[in-house]
Amino acid sequence: MAPRQQWFETLRLSIQQEHGKGWSIWEVGATKRNPIGRCRLTRIYEDRARSSVVLPLEWKATSATAILSAVGQLRALMDERNLSLQDANKLNTELLNGPQADGGEFAGWEKVAERFLKTQAGLRSSTLADLTTRVKRTLKALESRPCPRDGGTLMQRYADKFFAKAPAGGVGRKRNLLDVSRFLNYAVDECGAPIRFKPPSKAKINELIGSSETTTAEKLTPPVKPEDLAALLDQMAADGEHELHLAVGLVGLYGLRPSELAVLTVKDGRGEVGSVKRNSKTMSTKAQQLRKIRALDIPGREGEGERLLQLYASGLVRLPLSIRNQIALVKDKNRFQDVGAEFAQKLERYKPWQALVARNPGLTPYSLRHGYAWRAHCCSANPLHPRNAAAFIGHNVQTHLKHYGSWTDDASLDAALELFNQGVHA
């Protein structure tokens, strides 16, 4: 009577029948203390080169089905993604350790989300909070019925569930889908999710973003004109709003981001500001260099910026208390946005500012910074070169031209035309 065939011999035959020659399994790692070892899988190629991995499966009969399934998954990953056996095993480990869906397919989305967010831990707190929200929304979209079966249907489901209040073509939709794409790429490339969950084409994503009904020109934030800034500062002085006058004057005359009030210092009579951004670029040593600030005069207020800076340095007049409170919380919160938000709230409650906005729809507190860029190019017989203006305001030329160099109005165009014609006739 022939001896009974061992379970692993039967398994080897099954592997050969399903996947052909060139695959073999052996036990490794068994000791007296731990008599049950692990399964080592070896792939032998036509040129006799070989590659091996140790599967996270015990060498015992009850593991036979799991081993056979693992070989199939590894071969599929290798063929589908042109991976080595080692790289395929690295991805497949997540499959074996995570919960399994019907048919053994990938179902470890919760674990992938946890791992993905850990890789993003260096982001500033507000950015990480937004990303976490979008990842959680993606998980909800994955759980909806009928279940999305690929990246395209998943993004469509995400848009259907969460874009009801997001205007078409808006930055909100773009940022949401960008983060969903990053998450899906990570799931497929790093965690072994099926390749069909790769994000769809750029054209499909743009279709989900949609087109805005608002023109580019309508989106541009108008600047505070120099005469309006002068009148606003005068009114604040007359109303005894000396602290708000100081804050608005510094932002408007120096072109500061409102949140940069938190990092403003005066050294040897010169003003400097540090970085208020928290991302991979600004965390570098170079990005942390201080930026010297320079005031641009407005007619009838020559030297006003310098006077306010020295007043700030003296401490005789301080920033509004609510802004100072937010500055004191920056270190604990690890963000600067609340300083800018408090500045905006303080200004928006001031009635002369409300009246100015009523006369100039679209104005925001950030328009004070836009007004600085406007004056740099349009309010002097010797306008600044865009490169210098961009350096003064603290960004690159491309950003300067995109966000600050596109706004104009009829009065400015008429003035430019008159100046040009004067030059021709002269």
Instruction: Name the pLDDT band for 418 (thresholds 50, 70, 90).
Output: confident
Give the integer Cα–Cα distance in Å for 98 and 96. 6
- The residue ranking higher by pLDDT, 291 or 107, is 291
Nearest Cα to Cα of residue 69 among 87, 95, 37: 95
What pLDDT, on the 0 to 100 scale, is given for residue 218? Answer: 43
Q: What integer pLDDT is reported at residue 120 of this predicted model? A: 92
pLDDT recorded at residue 238? 96
pLDDT at 98: 45
3-state secondary structure of 7: helix
Strand positions, DSSP E, 187-333: 264-267, 270-273, 291-292
* Res 107 pLDDT > 70: no
Using the structure block, give the residue that is written with the tokens 């932002």. 251
DSSP β-ladder status, 50-58 and 264-267: unpaired
Which amino acid, residue 315?
G
Is a pLDDT exceeding 80 seen at residue 401? Answer: no
Classify the C-alpha dihedral 168-174-180-185 as positive or negative: positive
Q: Cα(52)–Cα(43) distance, rounded to whole angstroms?
A: 6
100 pLDDT more than 50: no
Residue 148 DSSP code: P
Q: What's the pLDDT score for residue 410?
A: 62
Which whole number is the average pLDDT over 16-37?
Answer: 91
More confident residue, 121 or 250: 250
Alpha-carbon distance of 25 to 371, in angstroms, equals 72
Lowest mean pLDDT among 19-33, 285-299, 309-323, 338-352: 285-299
| Best-predicted range by mean pLDDT (2-11, 116-125, 262-271) | 262-271
Q: For all residues of the chain together, what is the average pLDDT?
A: 85
DSSP H/E element including 331: helix 330-333
Compute the distance between CA of residue 320 and CA of residue 316 in angstroms, rounded to an integer. Answer: 13
User: Are 42 and 24 contacting, i.e. CB atoms less than 8 angstroms apart?
Assistant: yes
In tens, the pLDDT along 74-92 reads: 898 888 888 889 888 887 7
For residue 251, give the 3-state DSSP assignment.
helix
> What does the pLDDT average to over 122-144?
91
Side-chain-side CA neighbours of residue 423 (13 Å) = 7
- pLDDT at residue 213 tops 60: no
Structure tokens at 141: 């979209």
Percent of the chain with pLDDT over 70: 86
Measure the CA dihedral 46/52/57/63, to 10°. Answer: 20
Q: Are 84 and 51 in contact (CB under 8 A)?
A: yes
Q: Report which secondary-structure segment, H or E, holds 232.
A: helix 226-238
Q: Is 288 a residue whose pLDDT tops 90?
A: no
Q: pLDDT at position 219, please? A: 55
Convert the pLDDT of each residue in 353-394 to its tens digit: 999 999 999 899 999 998 998 888 888 878 888 888 888 888
Q: Where residue 403 falls among pLDDT bands split at 50, 70, 90? A: low
Q: How confident is the model at residue 216 (pLDDT cuts 50, 70, 90)?
A: very low
